[in-house]
Amino acid sequence: MDFRLLGAVEAWEQRLQLDLGPRKQRFAFAVLALHPNQLVSVERLVDLTWPSQPPRTAQHAIHVRVSRLRRAIADGRGGQDDANIITRGSAYMLKVNPLSIDVHRFRAVVTGARQEIDDSVKVSLLRHALSMWHGPPLADVATPDAAAVLCQGLEAARLAALEECLDAELRLGRHAAVVDELTDLVAQHPHRQRFQAQLMLALYRCGRVTDALDAYRAARIRLADEQALEPESRLSELQHAILCADPALEGPLVRHPPRTQLPHEIWSFARTDPLSDEVAVDVRDLSKRYGTSWAVDGISFTARKGEVLGLLGPYGAGKTTTLRMLSTVVTPTRGEISVAGVPGTRHNEIRKLIGVLPQNAGHPGHQTGLEFLTYHGRLFGLPRSEARERAVRLLGQVGLGNCGGARIATYSRGMRQRLGIARALVNDPAVVLLDEPATGLDPSGQRDILTLVRTIAEARGITMLLSAHAAPEVERICTGVLILERGKLASGQVMTT
């Protein structure tokens, strides 16, 4: 189930909206969902519903609402054990996976983003978290009093996430892309001086010096008129720096280390932590012959734990054949493979250690994303509840948390690729093989998928081998690349930790 509080209060099961009843009943549900797996007393529900003068029948009314909610949820979940309201004395608890509630998913993704050192990954995560908002929390059920008690912290968390996201965008040199958004934000939140500072900086970097100074003046007048305050020192210092054309205000001119003069240049994410020395994939003299021609001809390389290794090359270079040998689908003509120390000849063991996203992976359109992943978890021997729990978690991790209940036939290509990546992770693999994960996507879809690959590799210490036609976007997220040409390694392995 998918519970939504960031906007109207809603519950969804597989694209069907559950009827949570009239406004006050949905409000009771929202209070329980804000505190999942915690007891909420009837008195607290009464206080929040009737802050001044509760009717004499208030407690009874709450009991009736909760019991109707319990029935609505039980009907919606079709007997599956994934959400339930229980009673303990004179208190209620919504027993549920918190990640099925958008508020808690939002907080979890923001926490993950804060730990991320790479700004482009940070921005992707924060934008994903912010996209869960469809309006003020509890928009259609909370009175202003209740909203003030229950939702102020949430709104503050949203604005803080937005500020952090825009700071990261500015560090990435994307001032032109965010200047309109900042203009709107300053109009909506005239007293948040961090937005003001971000707008001034973005305008300045866009060459709009007069507009940047006008923005400062407008902020100063508004603060003085409405709050009798002076601008914070960050704003006045920024104004001074703009007036002096301080070089420190310039955006990042070069984001990546300069390209090398090698025929196959690479540049990469800068890692702050070195890669582990542990070898996850070891390939020696790997070769495959079809008839008289060699699809892969004597390649050797290693990939370390947590590495994102790009296998790049033109059409017919041997990329897919290499990945298919690693996944034990194709038997090598010559050479040796080992995955996490297990020799490639032990097919069954290898298959438990790897996850695969094949080229043009097909998906059953009639299933929902959640059903599809749960089914694959079951194929790897997980009990039903664990398979489902893992499916929910993976959907959240690949940015499909809100679409798990939708049929795959309705997914875009980018969503299917995300689902394919989630499927490749379902058995908790040590190594994931991705055959052209970004092909067929538009440039921003490619960037999103590749960033996701890198994020997952770093977050989970998984080794990723991905094939692609040479492209800067791919190289950027790799910790190392191999260039294949006509079955041979055209350049040695380049490590860029």
Ligand X SMILES: Nc1ncnc2c1ncn2[C@@H]1O[C@H](COP(=O)(O)OP(=O)(O)OP(=O)(O)O)[C@@H](O)[C@H]1O
The residues of the shown chain that bind ligand X, judged by CB under 6 A, are 290, 295, 313, 315-321
Residue 385 to residue 452: CA distance in whole angstroms: 26
The pair phi, psi for residue 160, each rounded to 5°, is -65, -40
CB environment 120-141: b (16+ within 10 A), e (fewer): bbbbbbbbbbbebbeebbbeeb
Query: Measured from the CB atom, is 392 or 438 closer to ligand X?
Result: 438
- Which two three-digit tokens encode residue 394? 């993976």
CB 491 → ligand X: shortest distance, Å? 16
DSSP string, 360-372: T----TTSBHHHH
DSSP reduced 3-state for 250: coil
Sheet holding 334-339, edge to edge: 293-304, 279-290, 334-339, 342-343
CB 361 within 8 A of CB 420: yes
CB 357 → ligand X: shortest distance, Å? 13
CB 413 → ligand X: shortest distance, Å? 17
- Which two three-digit tokens encode residue 377? 């978890």
CB 20 within 8 A of CB 74: no
CB 488 → ligand X: shortest distance, Å? 11
**Backbone dihedral region for residue 37 (phi beyond 0: left; psi -120 to 50: alpha; all else: beta):** left
Query: Measured from the CB atom, is 266 or 317 closer to ligand X?
Result: 317
Query: Measured from the CB atom, is 140 or 485 closer to ligand X?
Result: 485
Residue 479 to residue 267: CA distance in whole angstroms: 9
Residues in the chain: 497
CB 72 within 8 A of CB 19: yes
CB 489 → ligand X: shortest distance, Å? 13
CB 267 → ligand X: shortest distance, Å? 23
Query: Measured from the CB atom, is 73 or 466 closer to ligand X?
Result: 466
Rounded to the nearest angstrom, the gap between the alpha carbon of residue 16 and the centroid of all alpha carbons in its chain is 24
Residue 492 to residue 488: CA distance in whole angstroms: 10
Query: Measured from the CB atom, is 7 or 316 closer to ligand X?
Result: 316
CB 107 → ligand X: shortest distance, Å? 41
- Which two three-digit tokens encode residue 286? 């790997």
Query: Measured from the CB atom, is 136 or 316 closer to ligand X?
Result: 316
Q: What is the DSSP letter of 101?
A: B
CB 273 → ligand X: shortest distance, Å? 32
Query: Measured from the CB atom, is 245 or 290 closer to ligand X?
Result: 290
CB 7 → ligand X: shortest distance, Å? 43
Which residues are registered as beta bridge partners of 33? none
Query: Measured from the CB atom, is 169 or 297 closer to ligand X?
Result: 297
Query: Measured from the CB atom, is 151 or 326 closer to ligand X?
Result: 326
